[in-house]
Structure 1
């Protein structure tokens, strides 16, 4: 069910919305009174997630899209505006991990795919989101970076390169659009309790899990809600003078 374009409730666009951080962010935006465009490549899981958070389908729409495909992203943004009339916040969260091989062992295919999704996908989303926000004269973009966007990540060269790129993209765009009423920020999560992390740890073994815990100043992983609250706050009027910032949600990891 599409909401009326006359509806004054704010609108959020969330990629990677079917699970993990994206799902938690959808839930937080809904709790904050937003209407939400839920964007993901996994159609079945996206529907299941929407039914959990908006059973009546009154405040959300599902959009199946591949963030690495320009036409798919453009269609997702257009669909959102056609349904809701505007876009007040965008969380560019969809991503994949690439860990294990050392730099010289990486295949070109793995390198290209990681950057296509984790960096180019963020840029493509911003390209079309910002065009909408420029017409409105306002908007907040929040990208998902990582602590791997600020420090080295042995065994995850492609992922670290992509996330460092997201940080640079965020800061550069923030400067470009600051005079227009558009803010661009990022969150940089540390290890997060998620399906993606669980799969990575299962693949890499208990020693890696123990290493993460032993190197966290707080001795724990972030919850999905820890990250979602940060995203929601960066989108809110309370953060109206914050742009070009990468908010670490890492329990002090990068402060070491």
Structure 2
């Protein structure tokens, strides 16, 4: 019997072309999963799938805009038609936001963040759960944020969107626990990615401020978040559902 966390599991990963999503593809594949990568940037997806296959992993990709329900439906159908089932999903796609006081924040910022961070999870949960119900269950992890558990300055729409991800996680966990589907979330602290690099670049001093409030005093690597998601998706924690796991170096304890 394999000791890999995700041995032979079929896992769909959204936002898989960079950052935590790309790290998850590598970590999940190392843990024995068959990975289906979904994102909008086909060139990056193709390169990552080629990299994984070169290392002996079973991987495929499907170009997907997770804010569009039909795209998500097609991605789930692709996973099922390619591998016969969908065991697990990591709903990772998301967007950061500008640091602007609430009374100066434009409606367009709010609308975009809600669409990318919340509607995407809503779309994914519905189609993933429907597929998992046909095979007797599965496991889902949503990517929220420490901003889904506490407030940070001048980021109200982002905070609201990540709190909504926590709400959807708990609602789905409660509704489908009796049908063999576990739904949990990770809540990363500051994590190295293109999104945070852009955010920090536009907000000088932000990374230092956040790290100064983090007991471990540093920014996380994306592989550290992916490792937590892999454990939550695995069969090692069968009685764990509706939980939000902070992967934040102790940030929310402050």
TM-score in same-fold range (> 0.5): yes
Deviation of residue 56 (structure 1)?
7.7
Which is worse superposed, 14-23 or 152-161?
Answer: 152-161
Deviation of residue 208 (structure 1)?
1.5
Give the aligned length: 248
* SS of residue matched to 1:229: helix
2:66 touches 2:123 (CA, 8 Å); kept in 1? yes
Aligned residue among 218, 221, 225 for 1:220: 218
Cα distance in structure 1, aligned partners of 2:57 and 2:25: 14
* SS of residue matched to 1:62: strand
Gaps of 5+ in 2: 1-6
Instruction: Please name the residue that 1:5 is paired with.
Output: none
Instruction: Please name the residue that 2:166 is paired with.
Output: 167
* SS of residue matched to 1:239: coil
Instruction: Please name the residue that 1:88 is paired with.
Output: 87
Q: RMSD value over aligned CA atoms?
A: 1.4
Say whether residues 1:54 and 2:53 are aligned partners: yes
Instruction: Please name the residue that 2:239 is paired with.
Output: 241
2:88 touches 2:139 (CA, 8 Å); kept in 1? yes
Spell out, residue by residue over 1:159-212, the C-alpha distance to the aligned partner (whole angstroms, 9 max, x if none). Answer: 11010000011011101011011000000000012222111111111x222212
Cα distance in structure 2, aligned partners of 1:58 and 1:255: 38
Alignment of structure 1 residues 158-237 onto 2, 5 Å: 158-205=157-204, 207-237=205-235
Deviation of residue 52 (structure 1)?
2.3
2:186 touches 2:228 (CA, 8 Å); kept in 1? yes
Cα distance in structure 2, aligned partners of 1:116 and 1:209: 26
1:19 touches 1:49 (CA, 8 Å); kept in 2? no
Instruction: Please name the residue that 2:71 is paired with.
Output: 72
Cα distance in structure 1, aligned partners of 2:107 and 2:195: 23
Cα distance in structure 2, aligned partners of 1:220 and 1:92: 25
Instruction: Please name the residue that 1:45 is paired with.
Output: 44
2:148 touches 2:163 (CA, 8 Å); kept in 1? yes
Cα distance in structure 1, aligned partners of 2:244 and 2:198: 26
Cα distance in structure 2, aligned partners of 1:90 and 1:196: 21
1:51 touches 1:57 (CA, 8 Å); kept in 2? no
Cα distance in structure 1, aligned partners of 2:46 and 2:105: 35
Cα distance in structure 2, aligned partners of 1:10 and 1:209: 36
* SS of residue matched to 1:97: coil
* SS of residue matched to 1:199: helix
